[in-house]
């Protein structure tokens, strides 16, 4: 019984620290220059639900990791990419633990 209480307490304390995130891979048209693509990084970087940003110029993919509790819609992503001067080709979503 005592053991169960300990385990339950530990789990209870751990719940607030558990966080889930979503990884989104955005294939971007026109992203051929590192200097010009800084705008994408800057715009996503200003958002408080973005945990991580990675830009792969070879594959033309921007990978963002976002807080699952504050989702980002495809429309919002398209607007950010367009405001940065580019076009979205595809958006792929995946879950992270």
> Can you give the binding site for another protein, defined by CB under 8 A?
27, 29-40, 42-43, 54-58, 60, 82-87, 89
Residue closer to another protein by CB (options 57, 69) is: 57
Smallest distance, another protein to C-beta of residue 55, A: 4
CB 26 within 8 A of CB 61: yes
Residue closer to another protein by CB (options 51, 60) is: 60
Smallest distance, another protein to C-beta of residue 43, A: 7
Q: In what order do the strands lie in the sheet with 21-29?
A: 50-56, 61-67, 21-29, 87-96
Q: Which of 41, 58, 51, 89 is nearest to 72 (CA)?
A: 51
Residue closer to another protein by CB (options 41, 51) is: 41
Smallest distance, another protein to C-beta of residue 45, A: 12
Cα 50 from chain centroid (whole Å):
5
From CA 29, how far away is CA 32, in angstroms rounded?
8
């Amino acid at each position: 019984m005592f053991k169960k209480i300990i385990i339950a307490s530990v789990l209870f304390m751990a719940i607030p620290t558990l966080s889930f995130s979503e990884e989104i891979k955005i294939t971007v048209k026109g992203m051929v220059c590192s200097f010009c693509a800084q705008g994408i990084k800057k715009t996503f970087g200003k958002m408080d639900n973005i945990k991580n940003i990675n830009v792969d110029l070879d594959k033309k993919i921007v990978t963002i990791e976002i807080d699952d509790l504050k989702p980002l819609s495809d429309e919002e992503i398209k607007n950010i990419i367009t405001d940065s001067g580019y076009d979205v080709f595809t958006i792929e979503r995946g879950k992270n633990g």
